Amino acid sequence: MIGSLHELNNETSYDLGLFFELSPDLLCIAGYDGFFKKVNPALSKLLGYTPQELYSRPINDFVFEEDSEITAKNRRNIINGTVLLNFENRYVTKSGDIIWLSWTSIPVERSKLVYAIAKNITHKKRLDDDRNRLITTLTKINKELKQLNYTTSHDLRAPVNNLLVIFELLDQIKIQDQDTLEFIHMLRLSTGKLKDTLDKYVDALSQKEYLQVEVEELDMEVHFDKVLDSIKLLLVSSKAKVNRDFSELKRVKFNKSYLESIFLNLLTNSIKYAQPGCLPEITVSSRKLDGVEQLIFTDNGMGFDLEKVKDRIFGFQQKFHGHTDSKGIGLYLVYNHITSLGGQISIQSKVNEGSRFVISFKV
């Protein structure tokens, strides 16, 4: 660009005036006195002023008031010999609109002139503003949801603790019926599991804003049995048959709460959406295929028409079977537990033929 300025001053045979007039970019020459000396049609058209109107007033008269001081400061730097690159400020058009310009300016000391080129970045700035507003809104919503989760988890602990106290106060010696004793035992286990879960939620929500999810090596059979114990009454009442085989892959590196949540949601979904007149049968196994650790979960339930549900299968609050207890949360949680730690989940399913979930853990 400096070479071009030398050619301009030496009055070469090139018609640089035509270049100046036809350029779609915003070109101008300004004096050290703070006035436009020459503007091209693109700049005049954008600002809505005639060249004569732009020449008649100081440049700062056209600058948005909040940017006037920083613009004047940068103009002083240019006069002192500093080349200005990608300086952004706002101008006010004749119609009152505010536009953003990005300037690159070079001073020429001997003529006391500044040669400048600008680009209109108003559209980019508006997109940035929209994005920032969206981020602010989402941050606010996330904060409110976090507070709701915290409050709900915290407040639910009181009645759960009361239930545990009631179990402790029960005079089981007077209860002779073994089935009743077993029933009370299962209720106590389930209530204890619920208390542990609520305590974990409260602890997690009480930690710093960006929670680091703990990953550790887990024995899948141990945590699967823990989940089975927590839903023992459901398994008995539904007469569900659960088969498991973790012999090929016994341990996996994952988050403990996430793994138990995956087991819990897939098990309860298989029972909840069992085919009418057909007892639930669930098979859970693990394997290592081509170096990838996988968990396979199969049931004989109602299944899905994958052509209809498509990508909604793991969506938030997506319901497909009209069950009165359905909230559309279970598969959403399973998907997010897996993908948030770098894994993948796929599904094969047909209506009234059951479903097969394949969970691939992060390599």
DSSP string, 255-296: -HHHHHHHHHHHHHHHHHTPPTTS--EEEEEEEEETTEEEEE
Which two tokens mark 243?
Answer: 């088969």
pLDDT digits (tens, 9 = 90+) for 187-238: 777 777 777 776 666 666 555 444 467 899 999 999 999 989 878 878 888 8
**Residue 344 burial by CB count (10 A; 0-12/13-18/19+): exposed, middle or buried?**
middle
361: left (phi over 0), alpha (psi -120 to 50) or beta: beta
**pLDDT given at position 363:** 75
CA dist 124 and 267 (Å) reads 49
Q: Which residues of the chain have pLDDT under 50?
A: 1-8, 11, 208-211
pTM reported for the whole predicted model: 0.51
Residue carrying structure tokens 């030496």: 10
Q: Which residues neighbour 97 within 8 Å (Cβ) at sequence distance 6 or greater? A: none
> Domain 123-212 - what CATH class?
mainly alpha
**Where do you find CATH 1.10.287 in the chain?**
123-212
**pLDDT given at position 7:** 45
Which two tokens mark 15?
Answer: 């018609």
**232: amino acid identity, one letter:** K
Give me the CATH code for the 238-363 domain, please. Answer: 3.30.565.10
What's the mean pLDDT when you consider all of the chain?
Answer: 83
**Where do you find CATH 3.30.450.20 in the chain?**
2-120
Evaluate whether 153 touches 70 at the Cβ level (below 8 Å). no
Q: Which residues neighbour 276 within 8 Å (Cβ) at sequence distance 6 or greater? A: none
**pLDDT given at position 232:** 82
3-state secondary structure of 58: strand
**pLDDT given at position 170:** 66
Yes or no: is domain 2-120 CATH 3.40.1640.10? no
The bridge status of strand 84-92 relative to strand 113-120 is unpaired
**Where do you find CATH 3.30.565.10 in the chain?**
238-363
